[in-house]
């Protein structure tokens, strides 16, 4: 009878560990990042100025290495956007470099008329691995927010406050130059 108790206890422990791990991953956004970034920043794919982040089909707008394959992203409407944007005076403006506690941040913003069509991070804090890890997650989220709001009036990211504030200042300086 004691073996059956152990079997139940072990089974219960395994279930709790697996569920805890799954909830922890979802809580911190690990595992969903590539899908979210691809869907959220698909608008920047049409401009062709972003670089591939964690996924291989979308652009994150951050400065990471790799080439995005746009096999499933472009559609007829997305591929016609660059020619329309070129015809309506596309401007690429580089925002000021903002020095944060953990390093500089600088953005390059592409405008079509007064509409923000793409945001590329030229510099992000990279003094240590932790800063790089934080910025790999925060910069795409900030880009998504800025693209949605079409302004620098966006919320800061918890855990990336200095990066968020620098991002907002650099974005605002680019918008002011328009």
Largest interatomic CA distance in the chain: 80
**Could you give phi then psi for residue 110, rounded to 5 degrees?**
-105, 125
pTM of the model: 0.53
Cα-Cα-Cα-Cα dihedral sign, residues 6, 11, 14, 15? negative
**Confidence band (pLDDT; 50, 70, 90) for 57?**
very low
Distances (CA, A) of 124 to 59, 60, 78: 17, 14, 28
Give me the pLDDT at residue 29, please.
Answer: 61
Buried b (16+ CB within 10 A) or exposed e, 37-76: bbebbbbbbbbebbbbbbbebbbbbbbbeeebebeebeee
d(CA 4, CA 10): 10
What topology does CATH give the domain 31-177?
Sufe protein. Chain: A (3.90.1010)
Cα-Cα-Cα-Cα dihedral sign, residues 158, 162, 165, 167? negative
pLDDT (tens digit per residue) in 15-47: 777 777 666 666 666 654 443 333 334 333 333
Give me the pLDDT at residue 84, please.
Answer: 44
* 151 in Cβ contact with 175 (< 8 Å): yes
The pair of structure tokens assigned to 80 is: 């016609």
Residue from 66, 74, 73 nearest 136 by CA: 66
Would residue 152 be called left, alpha or beta, if left means φ above 0 and alpha means ψ between -120 and 50 degrees? alpha
Listed by start position, the domains of the chain span 31-177
Residue from 149, 150, 146 nearest 167 by CA: 146
Give me the pLDDT at residue 140, please.
Answer: 96
């Amino acid at each position: 009878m004691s073996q059956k108790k152990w079997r139940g206890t072990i089974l219960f422990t395994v279930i709790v560990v697996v569920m805890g791990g799954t909830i922890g991953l979802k809580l911190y956004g690990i595992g969903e990042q590539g899908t979210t970034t691809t869907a959220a920043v698909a608008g920047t794919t049409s401009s062709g100025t972003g670089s591939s982040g964690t996924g291989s089909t979308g652009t994150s707008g951050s400065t990471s290495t790799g080439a995005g394959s746009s096999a499933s992203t472009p559609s007829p409407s997305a591929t016609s956007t660059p020619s329309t944007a070129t015809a309506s005076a596309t401007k690429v403006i580089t925002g000021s470099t903002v020095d944060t506690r953990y390093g500089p941040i600088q953005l390059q913003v592409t405008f079509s008329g007064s509409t923000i069509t793409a945001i590329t991070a030229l510099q992000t804090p990279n003094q240590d691995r932790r800063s790089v890890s934080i910025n790999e997650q925060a910069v795409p989220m900030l880009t998504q927010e800025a693209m949605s709001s079409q302004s620098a009036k966006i919320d800061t990211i918890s855990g990336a406050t200095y990066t968020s504030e620098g991002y907002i200042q650099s974005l605002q300086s680019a918008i002011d130059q328009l």
